[in-house]
Amino acid sequence: DQQVKQNSPSLSVQEGRISILNCDYTNSMFDYFLWYKKYPAEGPTFLISISSIKDKNEDGRFTVFLNKSAKHLSLHIVPSQPGDSAVYFCALPTGNQFYFGTGTSLTVIP
Amino acid sequence: NAGVTQTPKFRVLKTGQSMTLLCAQDMNHEYMYWYRQDPGMGLRLIHYSVGEGTTAKGEVPDGYNVSRLKKQNFLLGLESAAPSQTSVYFCASSYLPSGVNEQFFGPGTRLTVL
């Protein structure tokens, strides 16, 4: 049973526009939410996180929004740049384990 | 600092063969993890370790064994490889439990089992 879902396998956005990546989860036990970015032939790297006591966290061009009642989080990238083209995973830790979403492949078109 | 390194980067095995994947980290992290990534499945935890000499099962442990004899190394073994184990394997480490701290990932090992 998939605890974490990213329903959009891919997304294409024009350079300079906003990219919105979504993540849904099924269990209310998660207290902390992370986004990772992955380039081809590399391991994932941490991007941004949010605690369950907040509904928004911003870091430069990246903002993560959390809607606990809807069990939904989203990552906004504004403005999108070609270097943002990568696969993005949401990751929800519990205990000593992480549950990762299936990933969304973002392509930013110059 | 090299961070998290994985050996080898690529490997092709025949069904029934065995192999060991090596993960090394130089950040003095207590926690280490092995994941596999398959198309449409995201990353799934195979085994993890909360310190030297400890190991624990993750979400998909069957067919794999691990050892953490030294704090900096975490080995993943396949005793009798099967085609279903064709995947990309990632090792990760973290200083604190994952719930409060990010994980640092290695570059991955692409394994094909024929």
Distance CA B87, CA B65 (A): 16
Pick from A32, A46, A97: CB nearest B100: A32
pLDDT tens for each residue of B81-97: 999 999 999 999 998 76
Q: E strands, A2-103, where? A: 4-5, 10-14, 19-25, 32-38, 45-51, 56-59, 62-67, 72-77, 86-94, 97-100
> What does pLDDT average to over chain A?
93
pLDDT at B99: 56
Average confidence (pLDDT) per 10 residues, chain B, 114 residues: 92 96 95 92 92 94 96 96 96 77 91 97
Shortest CA distance from B32: residue in chain A: A96
pLDDT of res. B72? 96
* Nearest chain A Cα distance for residue B94, angstroms: 10
pLDDT band at A105 (very low <50, low <70, confident <90, very high): very high
Cross-chain CB nearest to B98 (options A41, A93, A102): A93
Percent with pLDDT over 90 in chain A:
81
**Could you report the per-residue pLDDT of A23-59, keeping only the tens digit for each?**
999 987 888 899 999 999 899 999 999 999 999 999 9
Is B27 an 8 Å CB contact of chain A? Answer: no
pLDDT at position B98 is 58
Per CB-CB distance under 8 Å, the chain B contacts of A4 are 42
